[in-house]
Structure formats: C-alpha cells, structure tokens
Amino acid sequence: MQATYLEAIRQGIREEMERDSNVFLLGEDIGIYGGAFKVTEGLLERFGDKRVVDTPISESAIVGAAIGASYMGLRPVAEMQFSDFITCGFDQIVNFAAKCRYRWNAPAPLVVRAPSGGGIHGGPYHSQNPEAWFVHTPGLKVVEPSSAYDAKGLIKSAIRDNDPVIFFEHKALYRRVKEDIPEAEYTVPIGKAKVCREGRHLSVITYGAMVHVAMEAAEELDREGLSLEVLDLRTLLPLDEEAVLASVKKTSKAIVLHEATLTGGIGGEISARISEKAFEYLDGPVLRIAAPDTPVPYSPPLEEAFLPNKAKLIEKARWLAAY
C-alpha cells in the first residue's frame, strides 16, 4: 500500500502500540492536536490519554519522564517538536539514558523522535541537524531513515530495542516521499546500511534527505557516463563500517554527503575511517559536502545557498572523477 514517510512512521508506532501495551507516547501537542506535523494524529482516539500523553512545553520533563518510565519496564516514545529543542533534555540523554547499560546493566528502552533538517524555511531554531552530538555518545543508537519503507521498519526496531534510540526524521521528507510498503509485518535492522544504487566510479555515502539529492545527481551523471554508487547509512550509530569500506573498495573514490554543518560532522569520522582502513584502495582524496559553518538562514534564497544540493554534488563528483 502507498504511504508517505510521515504515514509510515505513524503506522509503525501504531503497530507497536497494538503489539505491546508497554509502549506509550509523550510530547507536546501529540494528543488532541496530533503533533506539530500530524505524525501522531488519530492515536489518542485509538489508545486513550494514558498512552498518548500531552505534556507541558518542557523537553527536560519529557525526556526525564521517558527515562524514568523506561527504567520501570515501559517503552516510551518521546517526541521533540523540533530536533533543535532536544538540547533542553541533552544532559539526561547523554549522562543518564546513554550510560545506564554501562553502569549497572540496566536497559533503557526509550525512543526520542526528533524532526530535523532544513528546506522548510524554519530558520536557525527549527532547522538544525544535530546528529553528531549524539553519535559522539557511547550507549546511544542514532537512526535517520530516508524512505517510507525504512522509516516504518526502523521506528519499529527502535521501539523494540532495549537501548535508547535517537530517531531523526527529516521534516522535508514527511510528505515529499511516498512509496509502496508491505501490509505484512516487517522491521528494518538497526546498524545496517543499504546500497540504493549500484555504481562503478564513485561512492556517495549519505543518509536522510541527502539520499534523494544523491540519487538525483547519480541519474544526471549517468547520462555523462559517470556511475555513482549511493550508500544510505540509515543508522549513524552504530555505523555500518563494513558497508562503507566495501563500497569504497569497489569504486576507489568517495564523497561523504550530509546536510549538517561541516566542522565536527559525521562526515569527518567516516572520512577518517576510510583513510585508515581503505587507503590503499583510494584513487583520490575523500571529499565532504556539507553545509557551511553558520546557523541555518531563515531567508529562502540564503537557505537554498546554505544547503547541500544536486548541483554542488555534481560539481564535486565531476572533479573527483577526473582526479
């Protein structure tokens, strides 16, 4: 059946709530209003206000309550209305949820949903991609799907996981991406990347909304005889290093593409691993394409200039192919 990225996430959450009575939702405006982006629309009517909990505007309280509930055997799914606001619960995520397994072998099966990314003219407080903060934190799992199929399968896997999962959802994909997804039960494993397009000359390693940018660039460059392989990481922590290295060894050239700002982004980590573990296979430098080191602009023309796009990827790919 056809479903948008948004509908696929809702389906996955609903199925897990039906499967396991310990799963419940909490967040700002997720009940009566159905969520800022309508991801949780209809779930209050289906499951009641004990399992779909409208909270005060306090991300610290939302995250703290979710962690406490997870310690008691429940499986909370907490929504940050925008991923930018996750900073208000940052201490509890990185210093409590992420460390309880290490400190006393206690599971903390919670999911923090974080709508992220630009392209919606939301400005500097509603458009960030803060995944690198959490990829740097042992004990967390960090997921960012690019397709409706993966969004549903990964949210189900995240809810079932016994460790805390930060689940990034790119806002620009909510209604833009639509595809057939199975009516039968399925999950997508956390920690496994996917080759979206086979290629011979150059690997583009990416995730989230940038997968679609890479696919568009690959299609255009294919007409020039330049074959791009597109690897969708899907999970950022744990990183599927095996898949990254396999792709680079195959093509001998690599571009790491992400929407987050350049300095300290996950692209640096991936580039370093390629350089350390596949150097002898490389026929050119590992390139990064990312946003510049500024806050996300509000002005639509400035935001367009700020974000990585197809033209920027094509330019870099042509340069690297000719290296």
Angle at 145 between CA 26 and CA 205, to 5 degrees: 145
Exactly one of 126, 201, 212, 258 is catalytic; name it: 126
Q: Are strands 235-237 and 141-143 parallel, antiparallel or unpaired?
A: antiparallel
- How far apart (Å, rounded) are the C-alpha atoms in residues 132 and 47? 34
Residues 242, 158: Cα–Cα separation, whole Å: 21
d(CA 186, CA 149): 9
Paired with 143 in beta bridges are 167, 235
List residues bridging with 26 in a β-sheet: 53, 78
Find, among 243, 76, 88, the residue nearest to 165 by Cα. Answer: 76
Taking alpha carbons only, the member of 311, 260, 318 closest to residue 287 is 318
The sign of the torsion formed by the CA atoms of 89, 93, 97, 100 equals negative
What does each C-alpha distance from 64 to 22, 27, 126, 129, 225 come to in angstroms? 17, 12, 22, 22, 53
Between the CA of residue 101 and those of 106, 107, 108, 136, 161, what are the distances in Å? 5, 6, 8, 17, 13
CA–CA dist 12, 18 (Å, integer):
10
Q: Are the CB atoms for 83 and 134 separated by under 8 Å?
A: no
Whether residue 238 has a cis bond before it, omega within 30° of 0: yes
CB 192 within 8 A of CB 19: no
How many Å apart are CA 304 and CA 301, to the nearest integer? 5
136 is catalytic: no
**AA identity, residue 86:** I
The residues assigned a catalytic role are 126
